[in-house]
Amino acid sequence: MFSKLKFLFSYMHQYRWWYTGGILFLALTVWVSVTIPEFIQRSIDLIADGRAGNEADFNKNVLIIVGLALALILVRTFSRILIFIPARLIERQLKGEMFRKLSSFGKDYYDENLSGSIISRINNDINGLRLIAGFGILQIGNIIFSLSLTPYKMWQLSPALTLYCIVPMVVVFIIVRIGMAIMVKNTRLQMNTLQRLSGKTISFLSGNSVIKSYNIYDYAEREVQKENISLFGQTLKIAWIRSFVMPLLFNLGQILKIVVLFVGGMYVINGKFTIGELTGYIAYAALLSQPIMGLGWVLTIFQQGFVGISSIQTILERRGADEKRQALPDEIKANLFGDGIRVKNLNFTYHNGEKPELQAISFTIKPGQVVGITGKVGSGKTTLINCLNGYLRPEKGMVYFGDLDAADLRSEDIRSSVRTVSQEVFLFSDTIENNIAFGSEKAPTKNDFKEVIYKSSFADELARFPKKEKTLVGEKGIMLSGGQKQRISLARALYTPCDLLILDDVFSAVDTDTERFLIKQIFDNHPAKSLVVISNRISVLEKTDFTIVLEEGRMAAKGNHRELLEQSEFYRDILALQQES
């Protein structure tokens, strides 16, 4: 509880002058609200008195009431502006911090959490915190000022009647608290279900083509329906409680009016109260019901918001993958690949895996070399290159850039030298040009756009698009074929110079002519100091300085084309298969 409050105040503190102004205007709002009934009371007494000379006083009172009402509009508006704006600014700041933090997490975090549920959590949790920092603070101020001024004014008029009013207030408050507690519990369940539902919806939407091709609509529908039914049940429960608690809260003012009218009416009949005092008292009773209503809301907002704060804290306090690592000085970073890369007895087990996926792998890539990696499906090829490009983080003493242990380097620094074109192409919903230039803003030099398009064998196809490089690719590149997407991704990698270029099976979705062209461009005139190419095509592998053959995560063989023909059965098999076809 204390740590959550501390967390909240650390953000609110920056806007302390906004809040101070807001609270001052709030105090004024309450003061004006409780002053108006005094003038109403006096005016009614003047009417009841019925004397001819009362008119001037009566008119003066009415003018004062109108003036106070106008002042009330102003001060109330200012109090809300000064409290709600910092809450929105805190929301914006937190969303930015959460996004930066989430971008710094490694693969393990995203393996454990569905993206839909992360999005839903961020929205709900930060929303909860904003409600505390805005509406919650406003209500607390309102309650404190109203509950200290209004009962005081009521007590001055009649202590006994004030005690009569407190009884229904306490009863309503207890009922509302119980109702709110049940509501909060169900709201929490509802939020969890909503997270799961968004997670599933996003994954089904992105796997839409698989659902269509395998005709598994029923499965997708059942999965979504399951969450929908729980969500419906929880929402209904909340609606039931709300339909009981809310009328009680909203009608508390009416209940108090009945009590005041009944007991206060008796006082008027017995001459203890004037009719003006009774009217003033009724206005106070109405004013008093507002903070009591607010109290119910405040408790709910704080309970829900605190759940959100702990979830935000878990994300913000989690260490980013690179937080413990020191950034490299620019001159070292620029020459990171100067002596190549050395892999020494590399073993790697995924954080959620049971057995090592890579075992005892050792090799060195010198600047200028072209290295092939081949092996059966699931033999560890992608895992191996991800250990080189900083996406996966092997233990200390296994991968070195010159003398620097990769385990001590920031992923960002590694990626300034190592670029990967992965199997899973990701294109943004933007133009072809922007997709290629993506991430190049900070690069000191860029290659010629037209040359990059040519080298990626995309020039002819680009010329056929009516809008050329300004063509929009649609969500995740839906307007393009698999091969086109792969070549845009290759062009993106070639656009800014790098030292080590890794190509993960980029020839898989292209025809033989394109493959031949790409091989010529990349091998004869290769754009980086060194190349690592994952492929099972002999036409590619025969051009490398050496190729590593992986079998179940182990290095089964290593050598050039001629050596592998002697050493590796797998290599001979794929050659035979490709010669046949």
Ligand X SMILES: Nc1ncnc2c1ncn2[C@@H]1O[C@H](COP(=O)(O)OP(=O)(O)OP(=O)(O)O)[C@@H](O)[C@H]1O
| Span 109-138, contacts to ligand X by CB under 6 A | 111
Judged by CB, which is closer to ligand X: 385, or 462?
A: 385
Q: Quote the least distance from Cβ 350 to ligand X, whole Å.
A: 3
Instruction: Give whichever of 247 and 353 is closer to ligand X, judged by the CB atom.
Output: 353
Task: Give the binding range for ligand X (CB under 6 A) out of 15-23, 199-207, 352-360, 484-492.
Answer: 352-360
Considering only residues 390 to 419 of the shown chain, the ones binding ligand X according to CB under 6 A are none
Q: Shortest approach of ligand X to residue 560 CB, angstroms?
A: 21
**Complex with ligand X: residue 38 or 357, whichever CB lies closer:** 357
Kindly state the tokens that stand for 205: 């939407």
What tokens does 88 get?
């929105």
Residues in 93-112 that interact with ligand X by CB under 6 A: 111
Cβ-contact 454, 490 below 8 angstroms: no
Report helix, strand or coil for 51. Answer: coil
Q: Residue from 209, 270, 352, 445 that binds ligand X (CB under 6 A)? A: 352
Q: Which is nearer to ligand X, 198 or 379 (CB)?
A: 379
In the bound state with ligand X, the residue whose beta carbon lies nearer, of 65 and 564, is: 564
The torsion of the CA quartet 225, 229, 232, 237, rounded to 10 degrees, works out to: -170
Whole-angstrom distance, CA of residue 187 vs CA of residue 421: 44
Dump the DSSP string for 516-566: HHHHHHHHHT-SSSEEEEE---HHHHTTSSEEEEEETTEEEEEE-HHHHHH
Looking at the Cβ atoms of 117 and 379, the one nearer to ligand X is 379
3-state secondary structure of 572: helix
Residue placing its CB nearer to ligand X in the complex, 318 or 351: 351
- Whether the Cβ atoms of residue 45 and residue 274 lie closer than 8 Å to each other: yes
177-206 positions binding ligand X, by CB under 6 A: none
Rounded Cα–Cα distance for residues 188 and 288 (Å): 31
According to the binding rule CB under 6 A, does residue 474 interact with ligand X?
no
Give 227 or 357: the residue with its C-beta nearer to ligand X.
357
Q: What is the DSSP letter of 134?
A: I
Q: Is the CB of 106 or the CB of 168 nearer to ligand X?
A: 106
Query: CB-wise, 381 or 529, nearer to ligand X?
Result: 381
Residue 383 CB, nearest approach to ligand X (Å): 3
| Residue (308 or 380) nearer to ligand X, CB | 380
**Alpha carbon 445 to its chain's center:** 33
From the list 148-156, 159-167, 349-357, 453-461, the region that binds ligand X by CB under 6 A is 349-357
- Written as six digits, the tokens of 390 are 């900083």
Report the residue number, 499 or 504, with the smaller CB distance to ligand X.
504
Measuring CA to CA, which residue among 579, 533, 522, 274 is closest to residue 384?
533
CB of 348 to ligand X, least distance (A): 9
Question: In whole angstroms, how close is the CB of 183 to ligand X at the nearest point?
Answer: 40
- Residue labelled with tokens 């997709």: 435
* Interface segment toward ligand X; rule CB under 6 A; list 86-94, 215-223, 347-355, 477-485: 347-355
Judged by beta carbon, residue 49 or residue 108, the one nearer ligand X is: 108
* Residues numbered 140-159 forming contacts with ligand X, rule: CB under 6 A: none
Cβ at position 550, least distance to ligand X in Å: 7
What's the closest the beta carbon of residue 485 comes to ligand X, in angstroms?
17
Minimum Å distance from CB 346 to ligand X? 13
Question: What's the closest the beta carbon of residue 393 comes to ligand X, in angstroms?
Answer: 13
187-210 in b/e burial notation, b at 16+ Cβ within 10 A? bebbbbbbbbbbbbbbebeeeeee
Tell the smallest beta-carbon distance from residue 81 to ligand X (Å). Answer: 49
Long-range CB pairs of 353-360, under 8 A, 24+ apart, other chains included: 356/553, 357/383, 357/553, 358/383, 358/384, 358/387, 358/553, 359/553, 359/554, 360/554, 360/555
Quote the least distance from Cβ 376 to ligand X, whole Å: 7
Minimum CB–partner distance for residue 476 and ligand X (Å): 20
d(CA 90, CA 128): 12
Record the tokens describing residue 164, joined without a space: 């009569």
For residues 19 and 13, what is the distance between their CA atoms, to the nearest angstrom? Answer: 9
Reference 132, options 192, 67, 88, 183; nearest CA is 88
Cα 199 to Cα 113, 117, 127, distances in angstroms: 9, 5, 19
Measured from the CB atom, the residue of 55 and 111 that comes closer to ligand X is 111
* Residue that is written with structure tokens 């002999």 in the block: 538
Torsion angles phi and psi, residue 564, rounded to 5: -70, -30
Binders of ligand X in range 18-57 (CB under 6 A): none
Closest contact distance (angstroms) between CB of 189 and ligand X is: 30
Q: For residue 517, give both structure tokens.
A: 């062209």
Q: How far apart are the C-alpha atoms of 46 and 35, rounded to whole Å? A: 17
Of 31, 78, 297, 350, the residue at the interface with ligand X (CB under 6 A) is 350
Amino acid at 242: R
Judged by CB under 6 A, the number of residues near ligand X is: 13
Contacts of 81 (CB under 8 A, 6+ apart): 22
The window from 11-19, 218-226, 260-268, 345-353 that contacts ligand X (CB under 6 A) reads: 345-353
Q: Which of residues 353-392 bind ligand X (CB under 6 A)?
A: 353, 357, 375, 377-383
Please state the closest distance from residue 524 (CB atom) to ligand X, in A: 26
State which H helix or E strand residue 418 sits in.
Answer: strand 418-421
Residues that bind ligand X (CB under 6 A): 111, 350, 352-353, 357, 375, 377-383
